[in-house]
Structure 1
Amino acid sequence: MDGNGSVSHAFDFVIVGSGAGSMCAALALRAAGKRVVVLEKTGLVGGTTALSGGVMWIPANRFMQDAGIDDSAAQAMAYLDAVVGDRADMPAASRERRRTFVEQAPRMLDFLVAQGLKLRRIPSWPDYYDAPGASVPGRAVVSELFDVRQLGEWRAKLRPGFVPLPAHLDEAMQLPLIKRSGAAKKVLLRVLGRAIADKFTGRARRTAGEALQGQLLHAALKAGVDIRLDTAVSELIVDDGRVRGVVAQIDGKPQRLEAALGVLLSAGGFARNQQMLDRHIPGTSAQWSSTIEADTGEVIAAAQRIGGATVQMSERIGMQIAWPPGSEQMKVKAAMQNDICKPHAIVVDRTGVRFARESSSHPEFSERMLERRDTAVPSWMICDSQYLAKYMLAGTMPGRKKPQAWLDAKFLCSGDTIEALAAACEIDGARLRETIERYNGFVDRGRDEDFGRGDSAYDRWVGDPLSASPDTPSNTLGRIEQGPFYAVALYPGDVGTYGGLLTDSHARVLREDGSAIDGLYATGTSAASVMGHAEPGPGGSIGPALTWAYVAAQHALTHE
């Protein structure tokens, strides 16, 4: 395909998108002295990563070693072999690609640290599956707090995150316990102390994905990366079988940007493209997604037009969500992963039956919802008054008083009895009572005999850290017995798609026949995931996005 438009500039490498992977590749190429341009179609840098927790799943990373935590490439491979496995319908998750990821991810992390990024590990965040090679301390790496004032005029061009406090993620997770925990009160005082210090010093420290993207942007600007906003790519330029650049809309006109070494596609997936969702993941809605509005799949389509193969298109990183009144414009939906797994709550489908382990990871639980879409979309989270008194619900702090708008809009249904609640939700009352009584029996015996809720290390990690006792062995279990009773509708949202362009162990985009398209690379959710149908732990998307970007840069540099 020959692109139209005049030559705007010539570069060594063109990167489409401005998420974490984009900046990592740009840094690697600039470290080798190459001319790099990052093209972002929106007016803000950071993509969906900036809206996220910014967590990276990195096996055998330097921070685990520093803390004396045992991990190795062999352990990580054993875990991925058990969780991801070898499936013909998951070619992007081949064992060869899994091995490359496991070997390169720690090297990528070391490279970022060498570029000046300040990172840390979450002290405790277990892998999602109880399988051989799993890490109970966890492999989660995040950014340290970052003062966005360091960005100067670019501060206004960094996409804002979802946590407005200078709090580490692990600190933020403790804040809902402030009414019941002295340790949580100390955390709150520490966070408030930082906020006050920032006010007096003029700092503006950020956390999570915004901090990660802020650090990457800061490093890229210092390294001399050319970053262009409001620049949408419409075509890939192919000459003699090799991708030589892109055609992009600049100031309303198509212009050619040539790339001597290649092009990296790192511009997100298709979670906001309803037509693509209907084709590949029927029963889902673009409105449920917590990705940015620009996550619409154009670069995937551009690569397909020149022969790029797509695979695993039915896969996604699910996240069960709720829709509080007034939340339609929320950047990040009300994620319910940490709500439904607490004691005194269960999830049922519209027939009043439990169908999954509420304490499973968000991608796994959302997958169970879609498998049962005829009766489980939407589902109902059922809880009692004990729950409301102790735990957060849809982003509100613990306490039985909830916004009146929730009740008026029937977002929060209630009933003095189980049968009254069932009527409000249009569920069979006898069936719901039977389900709750069965669950309460499991609570009394200390084990969920239907789904094993609370059996794994991850299950217990997401439960209530203050509730475990000899009488309640699992901190995810608690009787539903004190009225009034409440219910909230749940939907299978997402934080991104998992299918996309098929790439090899060098991150090169492949054709249907398995041959590589010279000069074209892909990473992030523009590419089909190396994790296949599963997310092994927190950061199972961002960790690989950074890693494959690093791999792509190294390949481009060694194959000039």
Structure 2
Amino acid sequence: MSSFDETFDFVIAGSGGGSMCAALVLRAAGKSVVILEKTDLIGGTTARSGGVMWIPNNPFMKKAGVPDSLEQATAYLDHVVGDHNDTPGATRARRQAYLVEGPRMLDFLIGRGLKFSRVSNWPDYYDEAPGGSVPGRTVVADLFDANELGEAKKLLRPNFLTLPVSLEDALKLPHVKKSWAAKRALVKMGLRIVGAKLRGRNYVTAGAALQGRMMQAALKAGVELRVNAPVKELIAEDGAVTGVVIEQEGKPRRVGARLGVLVNAGGFALNQQMRDTYMPGSSIGHTSVAEGDTGEMIQEMMRHGAAIAQMDSAIGSQLSLPPGADQWPIKPGAQGVTAAPHAILVDQSGVRYLNEGGSYTEYCNRMIERNREVPAIPSWAIFDNRVMGGYMIAGTMPGSKKPDAWTEQGYLHTADTIEALAASIKVDPATLAATVERFNDFVAKNDDEDFHRGKRAYDRWLGDPFRKPNETLGDISTGPFHAIPIVPGDVGTLGGVVTDDKARVLREDGTPIRGLYATGVSAASVMGRTSPGSGVNIGPAFVWGYVAANHAVQAA
């Protein structure tokens, strides 16, 4: 038996979604647990994200009278994810375990005082598929006063959204010129800002609210949280993982784990060498993950015999990067631009080739596939002046003056005619004019015959709720006309080590490595290479953390 500098019942590498959920299960069973975070902040990419969990058949759906069931959700995942030999992270057994354990995980957290709710309208990405939900299956944390963390507040990773507004209200704000609901959300936010200042509160939202609440619960439960404590090695004895080697204050320290080690240390989105190996042509400059997402824990698990899968896939996020955006921690998304009425996406030949709505992962995958046939990275968002005046573009508010650098540095192209715009972006004018004319004909018939944009509730949800008869279809006819480049980005990888329905890490022969568990994007996704709905990274991270901890307790 190795000698350790200290020993816990359970050791968790990484502090992203699911780490503190697992820790709470261990503490509820009276076990000691430490979370080891290699950066100087707690929360991982989860904290800086939207903080959405996709949990079918959740209690908030029941409370709101939204129909769902295990059978309905199973039919949906069977259709959207399916059974494939090259996606062992998404086996039928794992999908079923996810659907069964997800509501149990939420019940467990709610029972410990965690406060959640659902976004009332956020459709599944393939809502037309068998079992799809139009109201949606999203769960989010309520706003959280970070001051309740006391001194630990400084350790909570900031969120991309710094306003004290719920995610549901935040989704309304871009429509503030058109919607009384958005105006009320804006007023409510203003009152909350004033009230928070008067009462000494510091409200955080989205992923920071989720991880802030989880962090608070973990600290109250006696979980030890350490920052600047990267795991350098897994320690294995007789085929079982029994601890880790960490670096603390520049020195190695051996930490034992009586019941096991859970790896929840992110994927490899910021490791260009791994990207070149598994996702050639992709770039670390096109991701919005936290800085700790560098892949070394996947490599370390591989060193101990772990199988890997789905390494060529990521959770897509189409981006449009104005000058200076390479320095932004959260890259500006572009789905809201091309899914808006009066906008389309074309490749570098001027041809439209996808549904500009729909799943962002499918959107980015189609860009990458198209680029193998016709140059399509970047592609061009083509839109008329109503988009410029009515919708957000690259993080700027509707109708706002765009920075001069956008035009000066060739990011934003503007012209009085489609043909002149085509010349500006070096696309054949006749081809682009024909593409726009064909799309305009579809709009007139309210039927996108090529790609069926607007048939799904999710397509229409992405568009303008105040435009009828179709929220996402509008002709491109009002000049001046504009173009901006679009590239396929991501918010995390979908590949990692292969795990079973107990979250145990598996070898190539399918046998589990005793004492080693994985969750989050350290593991191959239970969603395969797809995104069935919003929150299919964070939801599984929490669920598999919950499952792993329960298995470790029961196995003991």
TM-score by length of 2: 0.98
Q: Is the 8 A contact 2:337 2:387 kept in 1?
A: no
1:187 to 185, 195, 198: 185
CA distance in 2, matches of 1:56, 1:335: 20
Equivalent residue runs for 1:156-195 within 5 Å: 156-195=154-193
- Report the Cα offset of residue 435 of structure 1: 0.4
1:58 corresponds to which residue? 55
Equivalent residue runs for 1:31-70 within 5 Å: 31-70=28-67
Are 1:108 and 2:109 counterparts? Answer: no
CA distance in 2, matches of 1:153, 1:356: 49
CA distance in 1, matches of 2:426, 2:272: 29
CA-based RMSD: 1.1
Equivalent residue runs for 1:136-151 within 5 Å: 136-151=134-149
1:99 to 90, 96, 100: 96
2:518 corresponds to which residue? 522
Q: Is the 8 A contact 2:272 2:283 kept in 1?
A: yes
Equivalent residue runs for 1:12-411 within 5 Å: 12-129=9-126, 130-374=128-372, 375-399=375-399, 401-411=401-411
CA distance in 1, matches of 2:433, 2:500: 52
User: What amino acid sits opposite 1:287 in the alignment?
Assistant: G
CA distance in 2, matches of 1:341, 1:195: 32
TM-score by length of 1: 0.97
User: What amino acid sits opposite 1:236 in the alignment?
Assistant: L
Name the count of aligned residue pairs. Answer: 553
User: What amino acid sits opposite 2:465 in the alignment?
Assistant: P
Query: Tell me, what secondary structure is at the counterpart of 1:295?
Result: coil
1:461 corresponds to which residue? 461
CA-to-partner distance for each residue in 1:131-182, whole Å, 9 max, x for gaps?
0001111100000000000111111111000111111111111111111222
- Report the Cα offset of residue 423 of structure 1: 1.5
User: What amino acid sits opposite 1:35 in the alignment?
Assistant: S
- Report the Cα offset of residue 401 of structure 1: 2.6
Q: Is the 8 A contact 1:45 1:229 kept in 2?
A: yes
- Report the Cα offset of residue 395 of structure 1: 1.1
1:484 corresponds to which residue? 480
CA distance in 1, matches of 2:493, 2:400: 36
User: Percent of counterpart pairs with the same letter?
Assistant: 56
CA distance in 2, matches of 1:505, 1:497: 20
User: What amino acid sits opposite 1:154 in the alignment?
Assistant: A
CA distance in 2, matches of 1:234, 1:225: 21
CA-to-partner distance for each residue in 1:206-230, whole Å, 9 max, x for gaps?
1100100100001001011011100
1:413 corresponds to which residue? 413
- Structure 2, unmatched stretches of 5+, are none
CA distance in 2, matches of 1:488, 1:201: 44
CA pair 23-400 structure 1, distance change in 2 beyond 3 A? closer
- Structure 1, unmatched stretches of 5+, are none
Q: Is the 8 A contact 1:269 1:526 kept in 2?
A: yes
Q: Is the 8 A contact 1:51 1:331 kept in 2?
A: no
Query: Tell me, what secondary structure is at the counterpart of 1:538?
Result: coil
- Report the Cα offset of residue 556 of structure 1: 0.2
- Report the Cα offset of residue 91 of structure 1: 1.1
CA-to-partner distance for each residue in 1:88-144, whole Å, 9 max, x for gaps?
111110111100000000000111111211000000101000200011111000000
Q: Is the 8 A contact 1:447 1:474 kept in 2?
A: no
- Report the Cα offset of residue 400 of structure 1: 5.9
2:422 corresponds to which residue? 422
- Report the Cα offset of residue 373 of structure 1: 2.2
Q: Is the 8 A contact 1:337 1:361 kept in 2?
A: no
- Report the Cα offset of residue 533 of structure 1: 1.1
User: What amino acid sits opposite 2:80 in the alignment?
Assistant: V
CA distance in 1, matches of 2:179, 2:235: 59
2:494 corresponds to which residue? 498
User: What amino acid sits opposite 2:29 in the alignment?
Assistant: A
Structure 1 consecutive aligned stretches of length 4 or more whose deviation exceeds 3 Å: none
